[in-house]
Amino acid sequence: MFLLLVLIPLFLVLLLNLNLYKVNYKIAVLIAGLFSLFQMFFIFSPNFFSTGLVDLLSLRFECDGISWIMLFSIAIVSFAAICVLYASETIASGKKFHFVNLVLLALAGMNGLVFVRDIFSIYVFIEIIAATSYVLIALDKTKKSLEASFKYLVISSVATVMMLSAVAILFMAAGSTDFIKVAQMYKEYGANPLIVVASVFFIVGLFIKGGVMPFHGWLPDAYSASPNPTSVFLAGIVTKTTGIYTLVRLYAIFDFNYSMQLVFLVFGSLSIVIAAIGAINQDNFKRMLAYSSISQVGYIVLAFGSGTILGVFAGMFHLFNHSVFKSLLFVNASALESRVNTNQIHNMSGLASRMPVTSTTSVIAFLSTAGIPPLAGFWSKLLIVLALWFSGNKEFAVLALLASIFTLTYFLIMQKKIFFGQLKEKFNTIKEARFTIRLASLFLCAITILTGLFFPIILNFMAFLFSF
Amino acid sequence: MNIILSIIIPSAAGVLIYLLPSKFNKTKNVLFLAAAALNFLIAVVFYGKIICICDASAYLVNLFFRNYELNSFMAVFLAAVTLITSIYAVAFMKQNKKTQVFYGSMLLALSCVNGVLFSDNFIFFLFFWEALMIPMFLMIASGENKPVPTAIKAFTISAVADLCLMFGVMLVCVAGDSFSISKGICELKAVVPGTYGLFTTTAFIMLFIGAAAKLGAMPFHSWIPEASAKAPVAFMVFMVTAVEKILGIYLLIRITNDFFIIEQSSFISVSAMTFGIITALVANALAMVQTDFKKMLSYASIGQAGFMIVAVSTMSVIGTVAALIHMHAHVIYKSGLFFVSGNIEKAEGSTDMNVIKGGLRKSMPYTFVAFLLSGAAFAGVPFFYAFYSKEMIYESALSVHWIFYAGLLICSLIAIITIINWGARLFFNGQNNSAFEDKEASTWMFIPTIIFALACALLGLFHQVPLKIISVVLNLNLPETHSNVLTVILILISLILFILAVLNFIKAYKKKTDYLGYALPAAKFLKIDKLNLNENLDPYNIFISFIKRLSKVLFVADKALNYFYDLVIPAGIGEMARSTRKAHNGNMSVYLLWVLIGIVCIFIIF
Amino acid sequence: MENLYIHIFLLALIVIISVFAVSHYRIIRGAILLGAVSFLVSISLFMLKAPIAAMFELSVCTGLITVIFISVISLTNPVYAGQKKINEMSMVKKIIILFLIVAVCGFFIYLFDEKNINWIPVMNDAQKTVTTKDSLWNLRHVDLIGQALILLTGIFAVVVLFKKGKEEK
């Protein structure tokens, strides 16, 4: 039944564009929102995992626990993005319609990516998501967003080339691109230099997609120059699905030796530290969040670097948490932008009194990011540190802990400058953001808090998901 | 029904006194006296019985009498002193709110002391020992003449000493591998004496410091004279004279006899004796130059603590017995003298030498009699109780080295000169024309005074009885030394000492202004009067000023650290952040270059 | 083995020319260089015995696209002087990058030359039950969906980015 999650958006896109009825953008947004909600609840349905439809079309699709977590995150973030889209005042209504179409396509792509078990298909679906992302970033057609989109395009194309060549090499060696065959091949020829080159190329491609330092050049521009709903969508889930989730899949295939782990550990910690430092001095709110995003991705990569199942578990949990709180922060950023009309931090001050929902939820999000108990971020960071510690990479565990201080630093600076302090006079008449944005904020905030509070239950559930 | 009542009843009564509204002042007095009396009764009834707490809670509250009845004896003695003091306190003190706090605190202190004495568990022991500080603070604070700074001082000093004790107890617990006192002791005793390592030695020193500080030995003494001027007389009798000495001696005897086995004239023993003798000498000399009767008494009290430390530290049987008896005797005569001072204060409004014009023997004849008896014991006149205890201390000191004996003799000489001086000053001197109406103390104040005074004389006459009791209590067999030639010689030397003091007095009497005679020039020569006046030499003040200086230094260090945290680190991070930001200049070829470098790095790692 | 050297020469030429194509400040020359790259690629494909691909490359990429590019570019305005200067300044960087690429390639060649390795690891026959044809066509149902999605995305990209909406008129 899970195949529906790929087919329905495809069908919806066709339906919306058939011009059978005069489709208003509001209806389109409503449909997309309903679809994301449907995905959120459909994955809980008992016969969700049944493979009848897949067998019927003889497709090589599978769904397991890790896919499930990704599907849930995708649903949550796309719901938030669509909420923000509805409230957005800067995007013209015609573009909103196209935005919905593109988001649906990206959703289909992401859902498909989550299901595929074939390295070439991975490449194809990543390209779908990337292509939609280019358009979504450039949707404004301002100079900045076009530039950002172009940068993403160029650097992504490097990744594309690398992944494609890696796929070619692996196909040549294994005679197939199926996960199982490739895994078998890895067992036999894992040490062959050509195969090593292939795996490095694949990893680099995914690092570029995920925005790991130093392959992140496109990311701050793309996040900060793109329209608000795109930022939410991109930062919340797109880069995580294309870059990070795929790494988890490769984990199962590639023969992960210590040097591979070391690559993960080194680049993960590099991302954490340098991106956190980079975030401190930023004046653009969204750009700062972009650096923070790189830093958090570093945590996830670091967790994978521990090379244990606990590490993968912690990384996936952090991925989920990160997509929730980072999209919450981007939602707040768009709330601010919709009212203050700027992203420059130095232009804002004392907004807590005027925008209580936004300020409260952003405080919770940043506390969660910094890993303050009992919020969700604390537990995932704890798991990451534990995984690193028990796998013997104690120095990286300590580094991960210390880097939390940086996280706290830049978020405290941000909070102080934006929400606390003296309220500027020109902001006296500012009201809270529109309802749908607030809805998204509160929804994501609730998930962060509940995940933190009911951590034991979540842990059990995730352990159940990992068991198959 | 067991000994735990002696902890529950006083504390319950104390809490009740705190809580009752001030309307019931008389009820409170009655309650106070009744609790004291009941405590005495309990202590007597359960004397010497090994009573375990019922089985169910045995593992929780493991309190019982020790075999050799030392704590029982102490408890009975304390109960008796408390009862008498409480009568005096009720008669002496004005009925106000502070007094009620005093009563309640006194009862709480009593239950704490009982707890310390009866606990066979280090945790309870420490708990009660530390808890005692709170009633002590409240009792000093219930004085009338701005007592809170003194109370804080007393609290601080006690706290420092108790910290040492706590550390020592911790070490003992580790060494004995048990919180149970009796079990831990068994483990400790298994260690061969003389082979104590650094660990055990540290434990001993810490416990010794705790006990000596409780006794009021020299660096921990400075709050006592101050408290004597601020706190009620009943506090001085109950807390300083009775409780502190009883607990101090109890712990000292426990650690030297039970916890550790220290050899005679070993290094530790001699150092402890030196410590005691210095305390005795300095405190007695300071006592001599005091102009306030109560202050003199408190300094003398510190000096006697030095005597007891010397006696215990000889690590001999006779020394231990002597220390216990001397403690006993000292509590009795010093309480008597404090009551005398209280009576004088009530009548004259002060106990300062310069305010009282003297000649009180006519107006306060009974007090005078009490003073004579207690003062004779203080001076160590033969056939008084303290005489025997002092002789035993001399004997034990002589058995180690003659120099300790000589030091103690000098102390005694100073004490005799001092008490004669004060007797002449207070009760003779004939210039009694002060504005106060001199009245004899009331009956209820007089009775406790005379009880102690008579006890000095009677116990002296029948000194064999307490001696026997104490040797039974300590489970020690006193060597029969009283027929020795040595003993006779020692007594003769003491008598000569006495004669010397009297001669000195006769010589000084002609001047009529000062009865110290040759002692005063000697004291001035040694600059002891300056030591008395100079507050900077007070160890507490030195400690406090040191702390202040330390805090200044730390403040500067903290400032530097803050500077480091506030400026250097943020500046460093800010600089890094700026350079990171500069690196992200939006130039795509730079970004592509990074990608290239990253790939090369990965290949290098592989 | 002469073929190998020709291949290496061709590939190096492709890399160098494509770098110049990307980094050239005049777009029209960039387009021409791109055509040259395509041409070289088609030669390479011919030599690798893939004539259909080579023909396709030659006709579409070298011919058609270059013509479209050049015709469109010639309709736009020429670059003005300031921009030219800035771009010429970064020539040093380009050369550095080029050298780096060459160095990296040389490094890898050296690295692989050092070890006597089995260049092309091929799975043993037992596992090679899936034929190339199978794996390329018969098992690619999944990618059909992907292709459909990409097609739609492309359409929307064109619609959003290149079609002038009513609002913008």
* Judgement on whether residues B467 and B327 belong to the same structural domain of the protein: yes
Tell me: cis bond preceding B448? Omega within 30 of 0 counts: no
pLDDT more than 70, % of chain A:
97
Confidence of residue A197 (pLDDT cuts 50, 70, 90): confident
Q: Does C108 touch chain B (CB under 8 A)?
A: yes
pLDDT digits (tens, 9 = 90+) for A37-64: 888 888 887 777 777 777 766 677 788 8
pLDDT digits (tens, 9 = 90+) for C5-60: 777 788 888 888 887 787 777 777 888 888 888 888 888 888 887 777 777 777 77
User: In chain A, which among 231-250 make CB contacts under 8 A with chain B?
Assistant: none
pLDDT reported for residue C55: 79
pLDDT reported for residue B60: 43
User: In chain A, which among 279-338 make CB contacts under 8 A with chain B?
Assistant: 279-282
A241-265: average pLDDT: 82
* Judgement on whether residues B24 and B125 belong to the same structural domain of the protein: yes
* Judgement on whether residues B23 and B61 belong to the same structural domain of the protein: yes
Question: Rounded to whole angstroms, how far apart are CA atoms B156 and B223?
Answer: 10
The two structure tokens encoding residue A141? 């057609």
Confidence of residue B56 (pLDDT cuts 50, 70, 90): very low
Q: How far is B581 from chain C (nearest CA, A)?
A: 20
* Judgement on whether residues C72 and C154 belong to the same structural domain of the protein: no
pLDDT digits (tens, 9 = 90+) for A403-462: 888 888 788 887 877 777 777 777 777 777 778 888 888 888 888 888 888 888 888 888
Q: What's the structural domain count of chain B?
A: 3
* Judgement on whether residues C99 and C147 belong to the same structural domain of the protein: no
Asked if C97 and B589 come within 8 Å (Cβ–Cβ), the reply is yes
* Judgement on whether residues C22 and C82 belong to the same structural domain of the protein: yes
Q: How far is C115 from chain B (nearest CA, A)?
A: 15
Question: Rounded to whole angstroms, how far apart are CA atoms A218 and A393?
Answer: 30
Q: How far is C74 from chain A (nearest CA, A)?
A: 22
A9 falls within a domain: no
In degrees, rounded to 5, the angle at the alpha carbon of residue C117 between the alpha carbons of residues A172 and A118 is 25
Confidence of residue C115 (pLDDT cuts 50, 70, 90): low
Given a contact as 3+ CB pairs under 8 Å, which chains touch C?
Answer: A, B
Task: Count the neighbouring beta carbons within 10 Å of the beta carbon of residue A6.
Answer: 27
- From chain A, pick out residues whose CB is under 8 angstroms from the CB of B599: 200, 204
* Judgement on whether residues C67 and C139 belong to the same structural domain of the protein: no
Q: Does A95 touch chain C (CB under 8 A)?
A: yes
* Judgement on whether residues C96 and C167 belong to the same structural domain of the protein: no
Q: List Cβ neighbours of C94 (8 Å cut-off, separation of 6 or more).
A: B589, C19, C20, C23
Domain of residue B576: give its range: 541-605
Domain of residue A400: give its range: 259-468
pLDDT at B423 over 50: yes
A366 falls within a domain: yes
* Judgement on whether residues B155 and B227 belong to the same structural domain of the protein: yes
Q: What's the structural domain count of chain A?
A: 1
A6, A109, A173 ranked by CB distance to C121: nearest: A173
C126 falls within a domain: no
pLDDT reported for residue B499: 83
pLDDT at C121 over 60: no
Asked if C149 and A98 come within 8 Å (Cβ–Cβ), the reply is no
Asked if A155 and B576 come within 8 Å (Cβ–Cβ), the reply is no
Asked if B589 and C90 come within 8 Å (Cβ–Cβ), the reply is yes
Asked if A131 and C143 come within 8 Å (Cβ–Cβ), the reply is no
Q: What type of residue sits at position B77?
A: F
- From chain A, pick out residues whose CB is under 8 angstroms from the CB of B603: 200
Nearest CA in chain A to B601: A263
Contact in structure between B102 and B234 (CB atoms under 8 Å) = yes
Report the sign of the C-alpha dihedral through residues B394, B397, B402, B407, in that order.
Answer: negative
A121, A135, A174 ranked by CB distance to C146: nearest: A121
A148 falls within a domain: no
Burial class (CB in 10 A: 0-12, 13-18, 19+), B264: middle
User: In chain C, which among 42-81 make CB contacts under 8 A with chain B?
Assistant: none
* Judgement on whether residues C107 and C141 belong to the same structural domain of the protein: no
pTM, two decimal places: 0.58
pLDDT digits (tens, 9 = 90+) for B103-143: 888 888 888 888 888 777 777 788 888 888 888 888 888 87
* Judgement on whether residues C91 and C50 belong to the same structural domain of the protein: yes
Distance set, CA B476 to CA A429, B248, B482, B577 (Å): 92, 20, 16, 79
Q: What's the structural domain count of chain C?
A: 2
Question: Rounded to whole angstroms, how far apart are CA atoms B70 and B74?
Answer: 6
C127 falls within a domain: no
* Judgement on whether residues C140 and C81 belong to the same structural domain of the protein: no
Tell me: cis bond preceding A374? Omega within 30 of 0 counts: yes
What is the SS3 assignment for B64? coil
pLDDT at C116 over 60: no
Task: Return the bridge partners of C33, or none.
Answer: none
* Judgement on whether residues C17 and C97 belong to the same structural domain of the protein: yes
pLDDT digits (tens, 9 = 90+) for B63-86: 444 445 677 788 888 888 888 888
Domain of residue C98: give its range: 2-116
pLDDT reported for residue B517: 67
Which residue do the tokens 């006519």 mark? B362
Question: Rounded to whole angstroms, how far apart are CA atoms A80 and A436?
Answer: 9
How many Å is the Cα radius of gyration of chain A?
21
Asked if A214 and B595 come within 8 Å (Cβ–Cβ), the reply is yes
pLDDT reported for residue C137: 58
* Judgement on whether residues B480 and B588 belong to the same structural domain of the protein: no
* Judgement on whether residues B13 and B113 belong to the same structural domain of the protein: yes
Q: In 3D, which of B295, B306, B302, B290 has the Cα closest to residue B252?
A: B306
C61 falls within a domain: yes
Asked if C101 and B596 come within 8 Å (Cβ–Cβ), the reply is yes
